[in-house]
Amino acid sequence: VLSAGYYDAYYRKAQQVRALIARDFKEAFTRCDVLLTPTAPTAAFAAGDKMDDPVTMYLNDMFTIPASMAGLPGISVPAGLDKDGLPLGLQIIGRAFDEETMLRAAAALEKAAAFKARPAGY
């Protein structure tokens, strides 16, 4: 895709999209210090599950992709268990080069939640 004939069609367009995503995050951070989002659209699945379903695996990562594309720090903290006892997570996204604020927010959230549950079998 990075060959000369495809540079404009793919790479340049991807860079433009990435810039738009970064701009949207920058605008959001004019109104807050960190963003809190789900880490994934579903509870975690067991190790080894879904290996034959790459689309499901990709879609389960979809909430973490925008921060990565924008070059922003993010961390997932435990938030609870679903009805089947599988872990749920919350993602905290910080400003570029402001990992300290993001980590302080994660620590405060973990302390306030006092989350101690463990998935079955662990």
pLDDT tens per residue across span 19-59 = 999 999 999 999 999 999 999 998 887 777 777 888 888 88
pLDDT at residue 120 is higher than 70: no
Mean pLDDT for 87-97 is 94
Is 49 exposed, middle or buried, given 0-12, 13-18 or 19+ CB atoms closer than 10 A? exposed
**pTM assigned to the model:** 0.83
Q: What's the number of domains the chain is made of?
A: 1
Backbone angles phi, psi at 53, to 5 degrees: -130, 75
Q: Tell me what pLDDT residue 3 has.
A: 63
Q: Is residue 65 part of a domain?
A: yes
Q: Is 9 helix (H, G, I), strand (E, B) or coil?
A: helix
Q: Tell me what pLDDT residue 97 has.
A: 96
Q: Residue 39 belongs to what domain range?
A: 32-113
Q: Is residue 21 part of a domain?
A: no
Q: Is residue 43 part of a domain?
A: yes
What confidence category does residue 119 fall into, taking pLDDT thresholds of 50, 70 and 90? low
